[in-house]
Amino acid sequence: MNETLHNTTMGFKPKIAIVDNNTLAVIGLKTMLQNVMPSIEIDTFNSYEALQMDDMDSFFHYFVAMKIVLENRTAFLERKQKTIVLTTSNDPSTQMSYFKSLCIN
């Protein structure tokens, strides 16, 4: 049993997606995540459409700009446990219900 578990997890590299059309924000977040978790794979996308062209469900987490989540709410609600919304405010009243948020300001 342990051998099977070891073989299935060996070589597994968690993937994180960053979806935002703000190139500087994407580069900054990607750099910070790589410094904190160097063993993860981070893919970046400038739109939801670009993310869809990849295997969306292969990602462990999605860091997504609020505007993109709002435009594609249904898709991200289906993945709400994996979605972290990138916001520009710490004010809880401006945060989206059902989602975790990260202020990038």
pLDDT at 39 over 50: yes
Mean pLDDT of the region 45-50: 97
- Assess if residue 1 is contained within a domain: no
Examine residue 29 and state whether it is found in any structural domain, yes or no: yes
**Domain membership flag for residue 8:** no
In the predicted model, what is the mean pLDDT of residues 31-37?
Answer: 96
Q: 68 with 20: CB under 8 angstroms?
A: yes
Domain containing 29 — which CATH number? Answer: 3.40.50.2300
Phi/psi at 50 (5° precision): -65, -40
Whole-number Å distance between alpha carbons of 12 and 40: 9
Say if 5 falls within a structural domain.
no
Give tens-digit pLDDT for 65-99. 999 999 999 999 999 999 999 998 888 777 888 89
User: In this model, does residue 45 exceed pLDDT 70?
Assistant: yes
Confidence of residue 12 (pLDDT cuts 50, 70, 90): confident
pTM: 0.84
Residue 7 lies in a domain: no
Question: How many whole angstroms separate alpha carbon 7 and alpha carbon 17?
Answer: 25
Q: Are 99 and 54 in contact, with CB atoms under 8 Å apart?
A: no
Task: Tell me, yes or no, whether 2 lies in a domain.
Answer: no
Structural domain contains residue 3: no
| Number of domains the chain contains | 1
Please check whether residue 4 lies inside any domain of the structure.
no
Domain range for 74 is: 13-103
Distance CA 35, CA 64 (A): 19
